[in-house]
Amino acid sequence: MATAVEREIHELGGKLRAAANAWAAGDGVFDEDDVTRLRHRAIALCHAHYRAAIPAYRRLCDEASVADDAPLAVLAERCVVTDDLFKSYDTAWVGARDFAALSEWLRDVCSEPVPADAGAAHDVDDWLERLERGGLHVLYSSGTSGKLSFVPRGEASWDAYRANGPSYLMHQIQRLGVDLSAMDCAVLGFRGGRMGIQRAGVELARYIAHVHYLYDSEIRAEMLRALLTARSAAAADAARAGLAVGQDEAYDNFLGALRRGTKCGRAFWLFGAPHQVKQLCALMQEAGAPALREGSVVTLGGGWKSFEGQRVDRPALCALIEAALGVPAARVLEAYAMVELNTPLMRCGDGRYHVPPILEPYLFDEALLPLAPGADVTGTFGFMDPTATSYPSFLVTGDEVRLTRERCPCGLVGPALLGEVRRAPGHEVRGCGGILATVRA
Amino acid sequence: MSGTRTRGSVSALALCEHLDTAGLLRADGDAIRVPVLARGRLVVPEGDAVLEIREATIDRATMRPDGGARRLVLPRVAAADLLYEDPGTVRARLAAVPFAALCDWLDAAAELLEPDGPLGARVRTLVAAASDLADPLLDAGLRLNATMMRAFAVREVVDRELAAGGVPGSRFLDEWVEVDAPVWDGPTGALRAALASAPAPGAAPSPHVRALPTLQIHVTAGNAPVVAPASALRLLATRSGGVVKLPSASILPGAALAVALHAAADAHPAARAVLDALSLVYWKGGDAAVEEPLFDPAVFDRVVVWGAPDAVERVSALAAGAIRTLTFNPRYGVSLIGREALADDAALDAAARLAAADVLVWNQRACIASLVHYVEADAGGQGTAAGGDAADRWAAALREALAAADRLAPSAPSLAALGQIQRMRRGSLVGARWHWVGGPGRDARAAVVVAPGPFDLSSHPLSRVVIVRRVARLDDALALLHRGVSTVGVHPEPRRLALRDPVAARGVSNIVPLGHAERAFAGMPHDGMRVLSDLVEWTTG
């Protein structure tokens, strides 16, 4: 049962979405001062709610002497958490099938009731399904560390997660002249599952009738875990056996679907991670496949992550996409998103990831102290997303960004990330006392 | 005594006057011009052919950055400045240097480096301005740099580490030593006798062994001010030649060594060949223009690399199996605390103070420093009545010991370490119990963290932060030991003796009494190696 504070937060969330819509429309209705007041009110309420309902957050506040009425600057300095919070459990519990312990951990980092029967789960997927049946939507991410992050959302936060993006993204899509009824969707991912990076494709598929998936099955957490923990090629192969088709066959089928749709005159909305789209382009060129129909769109999401070695810069990737798929750079969309974020940042045609007015962005220095706002500041990106009440959504990432508050040529106002997003430096192992990167003690 | 002329060599005072005249090794505005040694020649930074290293300056009262910065300006060196046209001739000249002459030269250089002398004091002032080491640790480090170069120390180390069959090591450096062992002629021995046209006039000459010098590259680490000088001393003690790459994080002690060796050499011409074959230089790690031509297997016989995984990997790849490579990989230390330590408050306090000493080693940046404490206690059992879990009792006592240490040798995490501590506190270790020294947040000076489960060591900030984990039996911690653990301190002593074999079987190099992680002795193996023995070419003749 939602508390009065939670209800107020989500009412404010609705108003923030409406404001974000106005912001994206650029029709002069958007009032930045007004939305800032709304957002700050929602953040203050979130803080009080987290403090009351999330034990781990409460401990942080107590230790840092942060009360319910702490000002925003204090929250930014002392109460932002990191994405490691969502994987602060002991992996041995998963190996030992101790889902009672895992559920107890979830209760520590989450404001929502955790269904009691989740503790009786027999594997991770069963645990996630039991949580879902109990009204707790848990998405996971493998990140770059190989350990799964679990991010829980109750119904209200889940609704916000699904509604925030569309509230402002539709204007960008409309400006592209996209006709969803004349399009098929092609997702370089799984048909379903709870992996965060897959969700954007799944959500996109809600708006388009015909959807083709690289893998026409759900991604299972246990399979992903087996892949991530495989210590040999043979073990990885064994884990992949859970897929109905191999990667080569999957791409062959995917290319076939693109070819058939194109032949029928259908444009495509293609969604995938940059390294996947790059691979698809190479395969399309190798096969001499025809370009996609005019009006097609490519959306990139998820970043390069462990495929950093394959990274090409944005102009090079766009050139490849145009050459292989026939989709011009203006129709290559890209989002900055993470499983802990309800509110993705879309990249505009001028190369900026715009921060929707739902979010309060912060940059942090190497000591994890907030940097003073400025017209053009570089630091580690963090945000407060007051539409998430299920978990502490005052978060600092591991990404180094340049945040500008100058008006964008595209017409959008407010803060935006300029240029490429990179992993923040400063975590190098130092000297003789440096330690083995994979050692746990 | 420092500052006076010794055995005809330059005095430290005169050397400092020379440095002043040349504008070297002194703060000049925000810049310090730093000389290096290239094949025995002192090279000073001039014109555009320089490299700059920026360092944040430290408020010595708080041991935190004071907002200032300075530049170290060094000459840019090329690989050609460090290579040898005729390596064989260089090795032959090195082999002809009497060990005693070498020791005399090193002793004279050590005299110049004495911390109480003008050069030592000058270097200390420069190093301290940007060092996060408290005065007691910094002073001990700089004193060690001088002491370990003393003739008696060098001879002791060489005589023990290169010793064989009761013959002190220095003899193997100086001469061919007859082997006092049964000799086997090999399978062809009988054939040789059968083929002989006449009976052999006498017994075949007996075999001899000699430790010949090599040409070495040392890529050192900057986690402590003693690493680069110690690595250089290994090169020198084997009477070898080569290149020592100074680390960006600790340039000045190496530069001071270069200046001292150079200044002392004129009065010790018998050792001149060693200076002429020696380079103490800096280049930016990964600079292919220097590294690719330098790592030439036709020139160099050994590579020694210390430090971070990326450096070890890069340098090992450069040596590419063609140059024998000794790696001092990233390792760490742990402490095993037996339940006897929690028997009463006095035992607890005594053990915690010993354990704190192992945490302080170069502010945890040394591979022997203890990062993790495994505390033996029953879950919710022993110690619960005293107001908390046993691991928390240990953590509280250790926190007090670290607070006392902070008063003796103050330290504060760097900004990056502070950020990493906050990341741990608000992320991976949010479920842990934190015992702060100095308070949470930006006030943190050290911390003891009782972790509920395994901890990913790659995120350890190495700044007097100790992870405490409870184990039901110390034997349970054995499964967590491996070759990445260099040193294990065990308490109390009977438990150490009982655990010594099983701990060693996990690949741990040092199993020491708690509080003695830094214990060392002449001839001591390092990371399981007799390093000097690996740096010479053992040759029979």
Read off the pLDDT of residues A252-288 as tens digits, 9 standing for 90 and up: 999 999 999 999 999 999 999 899 999 999 999 999 9
If pLDDT is split at 50, 70 and 90, which confidence band does A362 have? very high
User: Which positions 415-434 of B are in contact with A (Cβ < 8 Å)?
Assistant: 415-416, 418-420, 422-431, 434
What pLDDT score was predicted for residue A439? Answer: 52
Instruction: Give the per-residue pLDDT at A33.
Output: 94
Question: Could you tell me if B245 and B223 are in contact, meaning their C-beta atoms sit under 8 angstroms apart?
Answer: no
Residue of A nearest to B418 (CA): A367
Instruction: Report the distance separating Cα B218 and Cα B231, nearest Å.
Output: 7
Please name the member of B366, B430, B457 whose beta carbon is closest to the beta carbon of A441: B457
Asked whether the beta carbons of residue A440 and residue B457 sit closer than 8 angstroms, the reply is yes
Q: If you measure CA to CA, which chain A residue comes closest to B225? A: A431
* Residue contact B415–A434, C-beta within 8 A: no
| Residue in A80, A84, A366 nearest the CB of B428 | A84
Do B362 and A438 lie within an 8 Å CB cutoff? no
pLDDT score at A162: 93
Q: What is the mean pLDDT of residues A148-154?
A: 95
Domain ranges across chain A: 176-327
Is the distance from CB of A291 to CB of A321 less than 8 angstroms?
A: no
Q: Which A residues 58-87 touch B at CB under 8 Å? A: 59-60, 63-64, 77-78, 80-85, 87
Task: Determine the pLDDT at residue A436.
Answer: 35
Chain B residues in contact with A55 by the CB 8 A cut-off are none
Among residues A351, A204, A216, A344, the alpha carbon closest in space to that of A269 is found at A204
Closest residue by Cα to residue A412 from A334, A349, A335, A330 = A349
Query: Which of B369, B453, B462 comes nearest A92 by C-beta?
Result: B453
Best probe of the B interface among A427, A432, A438, A440, by most B CBs < 10 A, is A432
* pLDDT recorded at residue B200: 74
CB pairs under 8 A between A and B: 159
| Alpha carbon distance A138, A147 (integer Å) | 15
CB B506 within 8 A of CB B485: yes
Rounded CA gap, A133 and A127, in Å?
10
Whether ipTM tops 0.90, in short, is no
CB crowding A354-378: b at 16 or more within 10 Å, else e: bbbbbbbbbbbbbbbbbbeeeeebb
A98 shares contact with chain B (CB less than 8 Å): no
* B461 and A CB contact within 8 Å: no
Higher pLDDT, residue A432 or A292: A292
DSSP H/E element including A281: helix A274-287
A81, A105, A436: residue with CB nearest B426: A81
Which chain A residues are Cβ-neighbours of B137 within 8 angstroms?
A: none
How many CA atoms are closer than 13 Å to the CA of B443, on its beta-carbon side?
10
Residue of chain A nearest B373, judged by CA positions? A441
Q: Two tokens at A241?
A: 């056996």
* Angle separating helix axes B251-265 and B135-147, nearest 10 degrees: 30
Tell me the chain B residues in contact with residue A438 when contact means C-beta distances shorter than 8 Å. 458
Residues in chain B with CB shorter than 8 Å from the CB of A92 are 453-454
For residues B193, B199, B201 and B202, what is the CA-based torsion angle, rounded to 10 degrees?
Answer: 50
Q: Do A84 and B420 touch (CB under 8 A)?
A: no
What percent of chain A has pLDDT above 90? Answer: 63
A303-319: pLDDT as tens digits = 776 677 788 888 999 99
Are B442 and A367 inside 8 Å of each other by CB?
A: yes
pTM over 0.80: yes
> Residue ranges of the domains in chain B?
14-162+212-328, 332-513
- Point out the residue among A431, A432, A435 whose CB comes nearest to the CB of B458: A435
What integer pLDDT is reported at residue A218 of this predicted model?
79
CA distance, residue B330 to nearest chain A CA (Å) = 5
pLDDT score, position A146:
66
- Chain-chain contact of B365 with A432 (C-beta, under 8 angstroms): yes
User: Which H/E stretch holds residue A52?
Assistant: helix A32-53
Q: Report residue A249: phi and psi, to 5°.
A: -65, -40
Instruction: Measure the CA–CA gap between B364 and A435, rounded to whole angstroms.
Output: 11
Number of H helices, E strands in chain B: 18, 21
Interface of A with B in 406-435 (CB under 8 A): 426-435
The predicted-structure confidence for A180-239, as pLDDT tens digits, reads as follows 888 999 999 888 778 776 776 677 777 888 889 898 887 788 877 777 777 677 777 777
Which residues in B235-301 belong to E strands, given as ranges? 241-245, 278-281
**Contact assignment for A432 to B307 by CB distance below 8 Å:** yes
Continuous segment of H or E residues that includes residue A418: strand A416-423
Chain A residues whose beta carbon lies within 8 Å of the beta carbon of residue B364: 433
Question: Measured on CA atoms in the order B127, B132, B134, B139, is the torsion positive or negative?
Answer: negative
Report the first-to-last Cα separation within chain A, whole angstroms: 40
Q: Per the omega criterion (within 30 degrees of 0), is the bond before B492 cis?
A: yes
- Strands B332-337 and B31-33 turn out to be unpaired
| pLDDT at site B1 | 39
Inter-chain CB proximity A431 and B307 less than 8 Å: yes
* Test the A interface: residue of B315, B334, B415, B423 with most A CBs within 10 Å: B423
Asked if the model's pLDDT at residue A1 lies above 70, the reply is no
- Alpha-carbon gap, residue A59 to B382, rounded angstroms: 26
Q: Report the gap between the CA of A440 and the closest CA in chain B (Å).
A: 5
Task: Taking the CA atoms of A369, A375, A376 and A380 in sequence, report the sign of the dihedral they define.
Answer: positive
Q: Do A431 and B222 touch (CB under 8 A)?
A: yes
Which residues of chain B from 471 to 510 reach within 8 Å of chain A, CB to CB? 480, 482, 484
Q: Which residue of A has its CA nearest to B477?
A: A441
Per CATH, the homologous superfamily of domain B14-162+212-328 is Aldehyde Dehydrogenase; Chain A, domain 1 (3.40.605.10)
Output the tens digit of pLDDT for each of chain B's 541 residues. Answer: 333 444 446 799 999 999 999 999 999 999 999 999 999 999 999 999 999 999 999 999 999 999 999 999 999 999 999 999 999 999 999 999 999 999 999 999 999 999 999 999 999 999 999 999 999 999 999 999 999 999 999 999 999 999 999 999 999 999 999 998 888 888 998 898 889 888 777 778 899 999 999 999 999 998 889 999 999 999 999 999 999 999 998 999 999 999 999 999 999 999 999 999 999 999 999 999 999 999 999 999 999 999 877 788 888 888 888 999 999 988 999 999 999 999 999 999 999 999 999 999 999 999 999 999 999 998 865 444 333 489 999 999 999 999 999 999 999 999 999 999 999 999 999 999 999 999 988 899 999 999 988 888 888 999 999 999 999 999 999 999 999 999 999 999 999 999 999 999 999 999 999 999 999 999 999 999 999 999 999 999 9
DSSP three-state, residue A395:
strand
Based on its alpha-carbon atoms, the radius of gyration of chain B, rounded to whole angstroms, reads 26
Cβ atoms of B329 and B312 closer than 8 Å = yes
For residue A157, give Cα distances in angstroms to A110, A388, B240, B387, B483: 12, 5, 68, 40, 46
Residue A249 pLDDT > 80, yes or no? Answer: yes
Residues 143-172 of A with CB under 8 A from B: 145
Give the single-character DSSP code of A349. T
For an interface test with A, the pick among B132, B336, B430 (most A C-beta atoms closer than 10 Å) comes out as B430
The token pair at A17 is 């979405």
Q: Which residue type is seen at B295?
A: F
Q: Which amino acid is at B366?
A: A
Long-range contacts of A209-213, Cβ-Cβ distance < 8 Å, separation of 24 or more: A209/A181, A209/A184, A210/A184, A210/A185, A210/A261, A210/A266, A211/A184, A211/A185, A211/A186, A211/A187, A212/A184, A212/A185, A212/A186, A212/A187, A212/A254, A212/A257, A212/A258, A212/A261, A213/A187, A213/A189
How many CB atoms lie under 10 A from the CB of residue A434? 27
The backbone region for B186, taken as left when phi is positive above 0, alpha when psi lies in -120 to 50, beta otherwise, is: left
Please report the residues numbered 280 through 319 in chain B whose beta carbons come closer than 8 angstroms to any beta carbon of chain A: 306-310
CB atoms A440 and B482 under 8 Å: no
CATH superfamily of B332-513: Aldehyde Dehydrogenase; Chain A, domain 2 (3.40.309.10)
The DSSP call for residue B164 is: B
Cβ distance B330 to A59 less than 8 Å, yes or no, reads no
pLDDT, position B173: 98
Which of these, B236, B232, B274, B235, lies nearest to B250 by C-alpha position? B232
Crossing angle of helices B251-265 and B12-22, in 10° steps, is 110
Please tell me if residue B80 touches chain A, with a CB cutoff of 8 Å. no
Residue in A with minimal Cα distance to B247: A431
B94-126 per-position pLDDT tens digit: 999 999 999 999 999 999 999 999 999 999 999
d(CA A376, CA A418): 9
Angle at A111 between CA A107 and CA A116, to 5 degrees: 45
